[in-house]
Amino acid sequence: ETGVTQTPRHLVMGMTNKKSLKCEQHLGHNAMYWYKQSAKKPLELMFVYNFKEQTENNSVPSRFSPECPNSSHLFLHLHTLQPEDSALYLCASSQDGGPEDTQYFGPGTRLTVL
């Protein structure tokens, strides 16, 4: 596979469930990102990892917990979510997180919280 992949593509969960989203990039990049895309709102950056270290947490609630075990993989652990957390969650990667970088996106995970 090439590019940025995300699994699952669709997820339905209850408010008491614990689930994880997975992102994998096959581009040799060192920076990875989680975004939230809600209807009729701009994309919201959630987290940035650069060389496996978290460099940005955009005031995200603690019910979202990221994990970056290596430069190729990024997880978003979910627990006790709210219905308003339903959205498309997009993962992206870039070469090294620098200002000239282009970010490459995965297809997203469509999350529905019941």
Q: How far is the CB of 67 from another protein (least distance, A)?
A: 20
Q: Which one, 17 or 103, has the nearer CB to another protein?
A: 103
Q: Which one, 80 or 101, has the nearer CB to another protein?
A: 101
Q: How far is the CB of 24 from another protein (least distance, A)?
A: 13
Q: How far is the CB of 33 from another protein (least distance, A)?
A: 9
Q: Which two tokens stand for residue 74?
A: 């990024």
Q: Which one, 66 or 97, has the nearer CB to another protein?
A: 97
Q: Which two tokens stand for residue 16?
A: 């008491």
Max distance between CA atoms of the chain, in angstroms, equals 41
The C-alpha atoms of residue 58 and residue 48 are separated, in whole angstroms, by 9
Residues forming the site for another protein (CB under 8 A): 4, 6, 31, 40-43, 45, 48, 50, 55-56, 90, 92, 94, 97-108
The answer to whether 11 and 112 are in contact (CB under 8 A) is yes
The answer to whether 52 and 73 are in contact (CB under 8 A) is no
Q: How far is the CB of 39 from another protein (least distance, A)?
A: 10
The C-alpha atoms of residue 21 and residue 13 are separated, in whole angstroms, by 12
